[in-house]
Structure 1
């Protein structure tokens, strides 16, 4: 028998090694935690100003950061559900930040910057996942 190596984990005789079996869920858990951390930083820096003009740079950077999180999940697992894990954590955190706390405080204001953060944080990674899942449809033409 010949040992083969998969692109994502070392495989011997068709079975994943013990290290790859526990390392993939650990990396996915770290990516989910990283999604919460990046959202916290994006919400924190969303109301930044240059002079007297609002400049939500963190809202624009949310898209590339979330695409990198999805790419990280894809490098561990080829399953579509695994690619959605960091994005689902980011969305859950966004909804928590948009709701009122026990004292009535809201972390995200109801203005265009919040909409920009939501749009830029979700649309680019969802488009990437859509293209990745349906890549066979695009190449047949």
Structure 2
């Protein structure tokens, strides 16, 4: 098990642990941060879905799919400021995937926001695999071990 006392101050584990908010932080503020991050996951998904069919001339340019990776990693990084539990840190991505599935299903009028093409698959892969790889790395560094 890795603890702060086992590592010098300049090691990556000690540096990465410093992003946590103080333990005595008001629970109302922590809850507000969690709610804002979960709502932000849905807002960013909506913007990514709207900008996914972007074309420059006759060429499809899925910039929104490529931006999903750093944005979702940032959401997970923000969630780490209020929790040290690995499963709870992944909560914004669970909300993002739920919104993705809603956007990929048919609406009441038969409308589908996400088509069945490579851009949609790229959006899903970038939106889920990047934060999953980030959390995998963080869990192997030892930041989530108790």
Normalization by structure 1: what TM-score?
0.84
Equivalent in the alignment of 2:9: none
Corresponding position of 2:100? 94
- In 1, Cα distance between equivalents of 2:36 and 2:46: 15
Superposed CA RMSD in Å reads 1.5
Counterpart residue number, 2:90? 84
Q: How much does 1:81 deviate?
A: 2.1
Is the partner of 2:80 in helix, strand or coil?
A: helix
In structure 1, how many angstroms separate the alpha carbons of the residues matched to 2:70 and 2:102? 22
Between the two structures, name the one with larger relative contact order (CA 8 Å, sep ≥ 6): 2
Matches of residues 1-141 of structure 1 in structure 2 within 5 Å?
8-10=20-22, 16-17=24-25, 20-136=26-142
TM-score by length of 2: 0.81
For these two proteins, the number of residue pairs brought into alignment is: 125
Q: Which one has a bigger Cα radius of gyration?
A: 1
- Misfit runs of 4+, over 2 Å: 6-11
Q: Which runs of 5 or more structure 1 residues have no equivalent in the other structure?
A: 1-5, 137-141
